[in-house]
């Protein structure tokens, strides 16, 4: 049983048939933000991501590319691994399902499920969508052009008839419903939970868990004519990384069950129905939470190969920088909802919140301190009600609100709260007008600038998980020591020390100039 001071968070593992795009980096950035936040809050965190490398879809992609599946997976998996640097993920492990440690884990889980009496050999005849790597019943399908059968996801289905091992999923219906009832937060958001419950209430059919028509997969123990269905293989990755099948090892005891698997809404069923059933079958605890986020469209359209509208994470970073890209992805749409990406929105959001908001607040304040206080943190006098109110918001209320939001994975709300305090500080600058105080009341000017600098310290500390490099720059400029940057330092007891020299202020969040405007400006 994982302990209370540990936190294990995972992304889905990415299929290596395609290049990474915005939708892929979205989950990983969200997990990264949550992982960094918990670490700064003193929790022992494990954050896992990786690639899903078996199955028919990958085999067909390799055939199309004219390379072996192993060559394809090595190449494409590296593209996902490169994102660790491109998007600045702080993952503790990167798993590939073709690794030996994983094959061993998947086979062990298979064996245990078999030993539990939950597997039998039969024949599968039915519909399969390679794109989704999923089985569908006739009633779920619609007719497409040329008599093709189409899955609800839009994927084309093919008729499959082959010998297959089955998992007795039908016997898990009541136990799953009971589990959802006892663990009301297991599936989040609530609307998604209701969807899953209705699906399970509608009745579950046994699940085909092996294939014989191709061989790019983990061999079934004791019958290597069969390879495992890619989803039973893939889901096991979450346990491989913590040492499964050794359930007595430190890592496993510390981190299993996982605190949250963050997934896209399209793969919720695999995580919220099949995965807990497999785990309960072998007497292991299911993860504590499955959170399904929504899907991004790009400029109003579904991301698709044929439209060629996928945005590479590296393209975002070239245009906006890593931190601003991360911020935009997390702030723009409520985590859980669908949303639309447009460059116009990205520019507006980044400029409003980061360049004109937090960045400008820091630049103005620090420049005033640099110029008017000999580059040293001024000593505050007596605090007024307004001073105390802003300080209290920054040092106490904000972190409490952000913690509450992030516990519910409401990342956009946490950022809204940060921006609300930023606006409050902006309004405070306007009403206090420190530039006017320079001659009239320099002591009061010192107090006002101190209150602002201390507010910025707290804002920068809280923003570290989302904009790590930029927040570090802000904290450097305020001369906050490296070992005073975790969340235990967000309090009045650790407020900025008067007299400390600050660095010459430099802008942290550049204003994004839209291309047309840039071109016009360049003449
Ligand atoms: N390999 C499976 C997951 C196995 S987990 C044990 C898979 N891979 S995937 O590469 O197709 O998708 C990975 C994740 O990217 C999924 O969570 C999916 O929802 C997400 N996204 C893919 N396109 C997306 C958008 N357009 N928007 C947001 N997320 C999207 O499924």
Express each pLDDT in 58-116 by its tens digit: 999 999 999 999 999 999 999 999 999 999 999 999 999 999 999 999 999 999 999 99
Name the phi and psi angles at 509, rounded to 5.
Answer: -115, 100
* Residue 376 DSSP one-character state: B
Strand partners, 162: 124
Strand partners, 127: 136, 159
Bond from prior residue into 257 cis (ω within 30 degrees of 0)? yes
pLDDT for 271: 98
**Kind of pairing, strands 290-293 and 187-188?**
parallel
235 lines ligand 1 (CB under 6 A): yes
In angstroms, the CA 418 to CA 393 distance is 10
Residue 394 token pair: 């920054």
Residue spans of the chain under pLDDT 50: 523
52 lines ligand 1 (CB under 6 A): yes
CA atoms within 13 A on the CB side of 170: 6
Report how far ligand 1's centroid is from the alpha carbon of 55 (Å): 15
**What number does the ligand 1 atom closest to the CA of 52 have?**
1
In angstroms, the CA 334 to CA 402 distance is 15
Q: Assess contact for 220 and 110: CB atoms under 8 A.
A: yes
Residue 235 token pair: 């889901």
Residue 88, SS3 per DSSP: coil
Report how far ligand 1's centroid is from the alpha carbon of 219 (Å): 25
| Alpha carbon nearest to ligand 1 atom 19, residue | 264
What length is written for the chain? 523
13 lines ligand 1 (CB under 6 A): yes
Ligand 1 mutation target, pool 236, 267, 300, most atoms within 8 A of CB: 267
Three-class SS of 387-448? HHHHHHHHHHHHHHHHHHHHHCCCHHHHHHHHHHHHHHHHHHHHHHCHHHHHHHCHHHHHHH
Integer CA distances (angstroms), 450 to 271, 489, 499, in order: 50, 17, 11
Report how far ligand 1's centroid is from the alpha carbon of 299 (Å): 19
For the chain, the structural domain boundaries read 6-294, 342-514
**146-169, pLDDT tens digit by residue?**
889 999 999 999 999 999 999 999
262 lines ligand 1 (CB under 6 A): no
Name the phi and psi angles at 206, rounded to 5.
Answer: -60, 150
Q: What angle do CA 476, 481, 486 make, to 5 degrees?
A: 100
* Residue 163 DSSP one-character state: E
pLDDT for 517: 57
| Alpha carbon nearest to ligand 1 atom 6, residue | 235
Q: Assess contact for 459 and 494: CB atoms under 8 A.
A: no
Model's pTM, two decimal places?
0.96
24 lines ligand 1 (CB under 6 A): yes
pLDDT for 320: 97
**What number does the ligand 1 atom closest to the CA of 266 have?**
19
pLDDT for 357: 98
Strands of the 219-220 sheet, one edge to the other: 210-211, 223-228, 219-220
In CATH, the architecture of 342-514 is Orthogonal Bundle (1.10)
Write down the CATH number for the domain with range 6-294: 3.40.50.620
């Amino acid at each position: 049983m994982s302990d209370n001071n540990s936190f294990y968070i995972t992304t889905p593992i990415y299929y290596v048939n395609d290049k990474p795009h915005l939708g892929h980096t979205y989950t990983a950035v969200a997990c990264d933000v949550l992982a960094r936040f918990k670490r700064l809050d003193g929790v022992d965190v494990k954050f896992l991501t990786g690639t899903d490398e078996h199955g028919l879809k990958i085999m067909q992609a390799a055939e199309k590319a004219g390379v072996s599946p192993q060559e394809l997976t090595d190449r494409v998996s590296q593209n996902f691994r490169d994102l660790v640097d491109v998007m600045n993920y702080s993952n503790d492990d990167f798993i590939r399902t073709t690794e030996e440690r994983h094959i061993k884990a998947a086979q062990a889980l298979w064996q245990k499920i078999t030993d539990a009496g939950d597997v039998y050999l039969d024949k599968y005849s039915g519909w399969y969508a390679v794109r989704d790597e999923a089985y569908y019943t006739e009633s779920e399908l619609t007719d497409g052009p040329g008599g093709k059968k189409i899955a609800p996801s839009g994927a084309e289905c093919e008729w499959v008839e082959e010998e297959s091992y089955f998992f007795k999923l039908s016997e898990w219906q009541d136990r799953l419903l009971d589990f959802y009832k006892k663990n009301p937060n297991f599936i989040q958001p609530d609307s998604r939970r209701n969807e899953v419950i209705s699906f399970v209430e509608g009745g579950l059919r046994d699940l085909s868990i092996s294939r014989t028509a191709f061989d790019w997969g983990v061999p079934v123990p004791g019958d290597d004519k069969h390879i495992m269905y890619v989803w039973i293989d893939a889901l096991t990755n979450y346990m491989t990384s913590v040492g499964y099948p050794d359930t007595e090892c430190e890592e496993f005891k510390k981190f299993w069950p996982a605190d949250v698997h963050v997934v896209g809404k399209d793969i919720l069923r695999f995580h919220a129905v099949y995965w807990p059933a497999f785990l309960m079958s072998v007497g292991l605890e299911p993860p504590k939470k499955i959170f399904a986020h929504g899907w991004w469209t790009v400029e109003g359209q579904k991301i698709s190969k044929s439209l060629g509208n996928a945005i590479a994470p590296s393209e975002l970073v070239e245009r906006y920088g890593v931190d601003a890209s991360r911020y935009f992805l997390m702030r723009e749409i409520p985590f859980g909802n669908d949303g639309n990406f447009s460059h116009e929105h990205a520019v507006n959001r980044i400029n409003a919140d980061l360049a004109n908001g937090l960045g400008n607040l820091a630049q103005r304040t620090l420049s005033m301190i640099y110029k008017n206080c000999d580059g040293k943190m001024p000593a505050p006098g007596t605090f007024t009600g307004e001073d105390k109110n802003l300080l209290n918001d920054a040092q106490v209320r904000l972190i409490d609100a952000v913690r509450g939001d992030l516990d519910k994975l409401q990342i956009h709300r946490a950022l809204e709260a940060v921006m609300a305090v930023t606006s409050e500080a902006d309004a405070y600058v306007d009403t206090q007008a420190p530039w006017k105080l320079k001659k009239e009341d320099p002591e009061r000017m010192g107090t006002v600038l101190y209150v602002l600098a201390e507010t910025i310290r707290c804002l920068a500390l809280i923003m570290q998980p989302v904009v790590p490099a930029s927040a570090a720059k802000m904290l450097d400029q305020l001369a906050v020591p490296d070992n005073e940057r975790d969340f235990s330092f967000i309090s009045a007891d650790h407020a900025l020390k008067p007299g400390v020299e600050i660095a010459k202020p430099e802008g942290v969040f550049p204003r994004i100039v839209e291309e047309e405007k840039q071109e016009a400006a360049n003449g």
